[in-house]
Structure 1
Amino acid sequence: MRGHPILPTTIVGSYPQPDWLIDRERLKASLPPRVRAETLWRIPEPWLADAQEAATLMAIRDQEELGIDIVGDGEMRRESYSNRLATALSGIDTEKHGTAIDRTGKANPVPLVSGPIRRLGPIEAQDAAFLRRHTTKPVKLTLPGPFTMTQQAENGFYPDARALAMDYADAVNAEVRDLFAAGVDVVQLDEPYLQARAAEANAYAIEAINRSLDGVEGTTALHICFGYAMVHGAHVAKPKAYDFLAELDASVVDVISIEAAQPGLDPAILEDLPNKIIMYGVLDLSTPEVETPETVAARIRQALRHVDAERLWIAPDCGMKYHSREQSQAKLRAMVQGTELVRAELKS
């Protein structure tokens, strides 16, 4: 992808939705919903789309003013990173929900697959076109990946999880093509369950991911993480290493997004992805404390010991929807300033 400086900065996906748009206290009280959760919205349906557009414009302008190089829409129209697309496909039971165990070991309501998974038509293409119209910077949009959607559903139709994942992959593939056609520069798949379910990921995840991007022309990314830093308002401890990461070097994805700041990840693992661009997490989202630019710069320098600058993008660890707008702005400002310190060093 052209049009960005060395060490380009970006957000992972979500940006804080304003309190006037969504009930943030209820949102933060549980894990991201897997099924639709329309009651979270504060704006009545006749005006909701306009309100979501206004919030999206706010997210775009914030990123531009902060100096972010690759801009996202902040996922302002979504109740969670995955449920909007996952519940818009045919084959999902419209009468009842299924149940699946989440990453914390609890049973949650999820889409119940009762027929063949098919994409009925574009889902995020209008959002992509809106984002493209309202910034001149390169833009990135996110979609839930086929492996994670398989893990977040109850399979009541397919012979096994792999078969379900392949049809999810076909639906994602059609959506990715439409996003690129709408002018998006980077399409990112969110696949947090690669880490949470590494054994199952080893069985069929790379096949599903590659199928979801088969024949696609454009820069693709994949976000793999340890989950949100806060759950039910409590700090979540993170492991020090990924159980599923090096395997992604065999995928067709161009950019691998990992979180490194909160878990204190050893950047030497970046050497396990020699053929990928790395979107490197430098902001710890488990705390409202704002990193200094020097802290961010130090984290980038550590990564540069193991990956060339031409293969490194700079980002927060994960989505920022559970932080306040003010906290997010301050952290992103430090990220941009820290990145500029390292850029200056590379030029000298």
Structure 2
Amino acid sequence: MTVLLPTTVIGSWPVPEWLARIKTEWFRGRLSHAQLQDVHETAIKAALRDQEQAGIDIVSDGELRRDNDVDYLLARMAGIEIPRTTKDFYFDYYEPRITAPLPEPAGTLGLADDYAFTAGQTDRPITFSFTGPFSLAHRIRDEAYGDRRALALAVARVLNAEAHALAAAGATRLQIDEPFLAGHPDEIGVAVEAINAVTAGVPVSWGLHVCYGNRYARPSWEGHYDFLFPAVLDAAVDHLVLEFARKGGADLPVVARWDRDLGIGVVDVKSPHVETPETVAERIRRALEFVPPERLVVNPDCGLRHLSGAVARAKLAAMVAGAELVRASLPALHTVSQGAAP
């Protein structure tokens, strides 16, 4: 199956109030792990159906098993200490620390099992995402390395082992999310080195998502994507996935330097306003002035976690309709395999 301008999502899906309450009960010690898993599986099935019904070409599990973009991974890593494991609210951050160098990976973090469940619920291609080593390293109180690069590379080795396990479980599209990178643009070289340590030797299609933060639907930083270049050209990834809807198209000439697939954000996840298909189509056409259609992928700016379910579904439906408007106006000879999408 081939599709021009494939549509996808960044990762996270809206967390309904009932799920937030149940997850919080778990972190307060009032719910069994088996009960929590049952709830997660129900929520993931619903998120997949929503994406399928909206017409999304490449779906995700909605990251609904995770408490936030950091703790779900760090709490499972050998050598990472979590002094206080309870939370008042599931989305709060732990205060992880490291007092000795991380051991070489001896097991996995369980992400392959997460992927396997999702793959059993849909026949559509799946992008499986996880937070990258650079951002994770920024959340760890380092009492072992005293050097951000060394810590990021140690975390990257753990994630590389996890990526191998995901590939063995059948994953073909993995995405590294680096939400902290925009806040530390002078460290782009370290980030790329760590990203390449994650992707090394893992035969999948790799994406890299860089945004300006999306904590409670607010950006953590502002700026432009010029900080990525030229260092990001050395990243061993197949797709660069960026936000443009909220920020506008001013950075499109900058990222025209990227010579691989580009995921362009065309709906603003920080606003409940639902774009029209025509607005989406206009944003896609603007991107096509800089990126050929066979290398363009259509996605939201970032994860949809902080939107209501109704708004998220409406935004995705508009995104799919907008992409179809543009497809209909392009030569039929331009096609791209879904296997090449992030």
TM bucket normalised to smaller: 0.7 to 0.9
Q: Which has the higher contact order (CA 8 A, sep 6+)?
A: 2
Task: Check 1:270–1:243 CA distance in 2 against 1; reply closer, same or farther (3 A cut).
Answer: closer
Letter in 2 for 1:7: L
Quick check: 1:23–1:42 contact (8 Å CA) kept in 2?
no
The aligned runs of 1:1-348 (5 Å cut-off) are: 3-23=1-21, 38-39=26-27, 44-95=32-83, 109-118=94-103, 119-122=105-108, 123-202=110-189, 204-228=190-214, 230=216, 236=219, 239=222, 241-246=224-229, 247-266=231-250, 267-274=252-259, 276-347=260-331
RMSD, aligned CA:
2.3
**Cα distance in 2 between the residues matched to 1:95 and 1:16:** 29
Say if 1:9 and 1:314, in contact at 8 Å, map to a contact too. yes
Which ranges of structure 2 fall in alignment gaps of 5 or more residues? 86-92, 333-342
Q: Which amino acid aligns with 1:55?
A: A
Q: Give the letter for the 1:248 counterpart.
A: V
Distance in 1 (CA, whole Å) between partners of 2:221 and 2:146 is: 34
Letter in 1 for 2:224: A
Q: Which runs of 5+ in 1 are unaligned?
A: 28-36, 98-107
Distance across 1 between alignment mates of 2:191 and 2:113: 28
Runs of 4 or more above 6 Å deviation = none
Q: Which amino acid aligns with 2:222?
A: P
2:212–2:220 Cα contact (<8 Å) kept: no
Deviates more, 1:12-21 or 1:212-221: 12-21
Per-residue Cα deviation, 1:191-210 (whole angstroms, up to 9, x for no partner): 112211111233x1111111
Higher strand share: 1
How many angstroms apart in 2 are the aligned matches of 1:41 and 1:314?
Answer: 40
Conserved 8 A contact 1:165-1:208: yes
Q: Is the 8 A contact 1:229 1:286 kept in 2?
A: no
Q: Is the 8 A contact 2:249 2:286 kept in 1?
A: no
- Answer whether contact 2:176 2:208 (CA < 8 A) is retained: yes
Inter-CA distance 64–168: structure 2 relative to 1 (3 Å threshold): same
Deviations along 1:215-242, whole A, 9 cap, x unmatched?
11010001100011745xxx54863512
TM-score, normalised on structure 2?
0.88
CA-CA distance at 1:109 after TM superposition: 4.8
What is the TM-score normalised by the length of structure 1?
A: 0.86
1:295 to partner: Cα distance: 0.1
Q: Distance in 2 between matches of 1:44 and 1:109?
A: 20
SS in 1 for 2:83: coil
Q: Secondary structure at the match of 2:306?
A: coil
| Aligned-residue identity in percent | 39
Q: For each residue in 1:32-55, what CA deviation from the matched residue of structure 2 results, as whole angstroms up to 9, or x when unmatched?
A: xxxxx9538996534110110010
Output the CA distance in 2 between the equivalents of 1:324 and 1:318: 15
Tell which deviates more after alignment, 189-198 or 300-309.
189-198
**TM-aligned CA deviation for residue 179 of structure 1:** 1.2
Q: Tell me the number of residue pairs that the alignment of Structure 1 and Structure 2 aligns.
A: 321
Change (3 A) 1:38 1:160: farther
Residue 153 of structure 1 and its aligned partner are, at CA, apart by: 0.9
Deviation of 1:270 (Å): 2.2
Q: Please, which moves more after superposition, 241-250 or 177-186? A: 241-250
CA distance in 1, matches of 2:146, 2:130: 25
Amino acid across the alignment from 1:116: P
Matched residue of 1:171: which SS?
A: helix
| Secondary structure, counterpart of 2:19 in structure 1 | coil
